[in-house]
Each structure stands twice: as structure tokens, then as C-alpha cells.
Amino acid sequence: MTSEVNELVKCKTEIEQKLDWGASESWQSIDFENLSQLILDDTGVSLSVSTLRRIWGRTEYNHLPSVTTLNTLAKFAGYEDWRNFLKTKKPDQEKTPDPLDTGKTTSKTASRMKLAWIFVLLLIVGLVSIFAFDKGEAQLNAEDFSFSSQPITSGIPNSVVFTYDATRAPGDSVFIQQSWDNNKRTLVEKNFHKHTSIYYEPGLFIAKLLVGDQVIREHKLLVPTNGWLGTIDGKDIPVYLKDSEFVTDGILRLPIPVISQKNIPMQPKPPVVTYANVGNFEPVALKNFSFSSEIKNEFRDGAAVCQLTRITLFTDSIPIVIPLSIKGCVSELNLLSVDHFVSGKKDDLSAFGVDFSKWVKVSCKSNGSKIQYFVDEKLAIEFPLPENEVKIIGISYTFQGTGAVQKVSLSSEDKVIFQAF
């Protein structure tokens, strides 16, 4: 345990040296936000700001980070994974004095050595007290717990009733987490059996039952839309649109005057508009699918000059995210193809730079071994199909500013499963 704490400290030190932001004790909230984004860009894995703050000792943290978190930190530090970090980390510049050394040393030097080791031991004890495992937690058996959920209605927003049994948990640290986001974790009474949470956005979520920081039970939770859902991002709750406000003339389009009528300014920070349709069609397997639609971002003033846009294909696993922008802003794009992540800062995503003054056709399909992505009929990028079976369960379009969508089509083999406009 002590060695693991020591190695984590060394890994953090290498990250701090890489960043060159000065002493981590002086880092502000914005620094942890920037670090979270840098880690995502570099590794393709998102570590929340709250997780990073706990790792750097800003908030109480009673456990060592998970293996996934350790692997991500090691990768960001320049290693293949945590195991590789442990094997290949740089040796110490100077050998730490051995307090049991019987060699020739002066009494003054020996005293200093003893004081140094006392300080090191106190530091280790302090770190162990912060990161020590709960021995009882390590022995928990998932079969002693139960966890299920049931949405109350169809459509968004939607409250979900969680039913759980955690009476055999040691202590009172029992949590229900709505999704992957640690910020959506709620402390619940271990001797109770019901808890409700509200979901303001649709999608497939992984709900979790935790004891301490250990995930005991988890399951997939589909929160569907009732047909097409139009929203404008809000500070806490999205602004929900009536169908008549964004389904017009046989296409999806939110006119700027409708946004203005809701007292939402277009400047200096443009709004984010989303159209989503989730859980309303038969799931489509990625191994033999075809998707296409035409899209147009219709706002380019001020801070919306990049016309950042994305198409998301929700799956029962990690989603597909297809980004678009004007040609000059492709460095800001990030593409996700289930288990492949590409950053525009490290790879060439210029094929996803487009001219939004006209309709842009975006499509993707599988050919049995690969997923191929096309922009205006030209192959933009391709990836191997994921090894596991993955199915598409929903579609969404997101615009910086506002935009329009038409000719949506999703097929399985040669059969059209979903079509709109």
C-alpha cells in the first residue's frame, strides 16, 4: 500500500513537471479544468475535475484511484499504462540514505538522516491515511446487493425510481450515481430501498450502486425521448422547445427569432441547440448499418464563427460522435468512433471542415470490417469495427448557434429502420 502511494506521488510529480504550472498547491479551479481537458485530448479518457482535485489532495479522498484512473494518469505522464510506469519510471537522482547504514558517518550527519527519515515516515503515514483502502469494502460481494431502475414516464425530463438493497454494506457510505459523471452521485440511506433521480437529457446511462468508492452493482438505463426533442442548453436545466418551434417545413430548424423570444442572447456566447431522437426505433447493429443525413449550421456571427456542429449516434456502448466546423477551425474538433478517439489537435481532421452556406451530406456505414465516415460523398476517415456487438439506439444533432437537418436515414443491411424528413 505504501509503495503504491509513493508511486502515485511520483507520477503526479512527473505530470507537474510536464505541465510546468508551478507548485500544485497554488493551482486554482481553472487549472484542474484545463488539466481535465488536456488529459482528454491526450488520452481520450475523461477524468472529472472533482477526481483530479481529490487526487491532488484538494478534497478528502479515502481510496486509491481506480485502475482506469491510474492508467490514464500514467499515459498522460508519457507511459503506456500504470504497469509500464511502475516498470520503466526514472530512477531517483540520489539514493535515499539508509538509516540503518553502519558506514562511517558523523553524528551530525546521522542526526540529519534520522530527522529526514522521520519526516518521510510521517509523510507516508499521512498519505496512507488519505488513500488507505477500506478493508471491509474490498471483501464486499455483489450478490449481497441488488439494484434496479424504472423510468416513471416516456419523454424528457424523466424521473427514474431506483430500487436497491444495501443493508449489508459496512458503514453508511452508500451512493447511487446516475451515470459516469461522479458529480451526479447521491448519498442514500443504506437501510432504505427507494431513491429517485431526474434526467433532463436523453441517452443510455450506466447507473451505479456504490459503497464508498467501490461500484457494487451497475446496469444500463435507457432514458428515451418522445419522438424528436429540441433543447437549448441552460445553466442547470435545458430550455425545452415545442415541436412547432423547431419542426418546420418538413425539416428540423430553429429560427433565430424563436431563440430571441425566449430571452436567450445570441452574443457574446452563442447558445447550444440540440435535436435528439432516442429509443424510438429498433436498435441497429453496427456490423451492418448505414446512416446518412444533410445538415447545415445557420449561425456564424461573433463567437460562433467556427460553426461547431456534431452528430451523435447513441449506442448501447460508447457513442459515435461526428464533428464538423468551418475549415479554419478543425483543430477544435474531436471525433469518437465507439472505441477510437481522434483529436483535431493531434491528427488531421480537415475532411470534417465544411462550407455551411449549403447543405452538407454526412454519412457513415460498415462494410463488414470497418466503419467508414463520409462528408459530401468523400471518405473522410475509417476505423475497424469494435469487437463487441454494438447497436445504435438514438440520434442527435448539436449546433453552436442554431442549424437545420433534413433527409435522415438509418438502415440495417438493406432495410430502412428509421427515416425522417
- Single residue among 199, 223, 247 that ends a domain in this structure: 223
Q: In this structure, what CATH number is given to the domain that contains residue 171? A: 2.60.40
Has residue 122 been placed in a domain? no
Q: Are residues 255 and 362 part of one domain?
A: yes
More confident residue, 332 or 135: 332
What is the identity of the amino acid at 47?
L
Render pLDDT for 349-403 as a digit per residue (tens, 0 to 9). Answer: 999 999 999 999 999 999 889 999 999 999 999 999 998 899 999 999 999 999 9
Find out whether 179 and 250 touch, Cβ atoms under 8 Å: no
Q: What is the pLDDT confidence band of residue 63, given thresholds at 50, 70 and 90? A: low
pLDDT in tens, 314-323: 999 889 999 9
Domain count, the chain: 3
Q: Where are the alpha helices (DSSP H) in 44-98?
A: 49-55, 67-77, 82-88
Q: Which residue type does 249 have?
A: D
**pLDDT exceeding 70 applies to what percent of the chain?**
86
* Residue 406 in this model has a pLDDT that exceeds 50: yes
Note whether residue 102 is domain-resident: no
Angstrom CA distances, 392 to 241, 250, 280, 317, 319, stand at 25, 24, 11, 9, 8
Same domain, 147 and 240: no
**Same structural domain, 75 and 206:** no
Output the domain CATH number for residue 272.
2.60.120.200
pLDDT of residue 222: 95
Given a cut of 80, whether residue 6 has pLDDT beyond it is no
Q: Classify residue 115: in a domain, yes or no.
A: no
290 domain-assigned: yes
Question: Phi-psi bin for 204: left (phi > 0), alpha (psi -120 to 50), beta?
Answer: beta
Is residue 114 assigned to a domain?
no
Residue 80 and residue 146 in one domain: no
Which three three-digit cell numbers place residue 171? 458503514
* Residue 251 located in a structural domain: yes
Residues 380 and 235 in one domain: yes
* 114 — pLDDT class (breaks 50, 70, 90): very low
Beta-strand ranges (E) seen in 11-56 are none
**110 in a structural domain:** no
Last residue of one domain, picked from the residues 180, 202, 223? 223
Whether the pLDDT of residue 265 is over 90: the answer is yes
Final residue of a structural domain among 194, 223, 252: 223
Q: What backbone phi and psi angles, to 5 degrees, belong to 184?
A: -105, 40
Residue with cell 486554482: 28
Q: Same domain for 290 and 391? A: yes
Report if residue 118 sits inside a domain.
no
> Are residues 186 and 247 both part of a single domain?
no
Determine the Cα–Cα distance for residues 179 and 199; give it in Å rounded to an integer.
Answer: 10
Beta bridge partners of 251: 248
CA neighbours closer than 13 Å in the CB half-sphere of residue 41: 13
Cell 433543447 sits at which residue? 231
Domain that holds residue 198: 138-223
Are 262 and 191 part of one and the same domain? no
Same domain flag for 259 and 404: yes
For the chain, give the mean pLDDT: 85
Kindly state whether residues 234 and 330 are assigned to the same domain.
yes
Tell me the per-residue pLDDT of 267-281, one tens digit each, with 9 for 90 and over. 999 999 999 999 999
Q: How confident is the model at residue 33 (pLDDT cuts 50, 70, 90)?
A: confident
CA distance 188 to 357: 51
Residue 325 and residue 399 in contact, taking contact as beta carbons nearer than 8 Å: no
Q: 244 and 198, same structural domain? A: no
Residues 217 and 290 in one domain: no
Q: At what angle do helices 67-77 and 29-43 cross, to 10 degrees?
A: 90
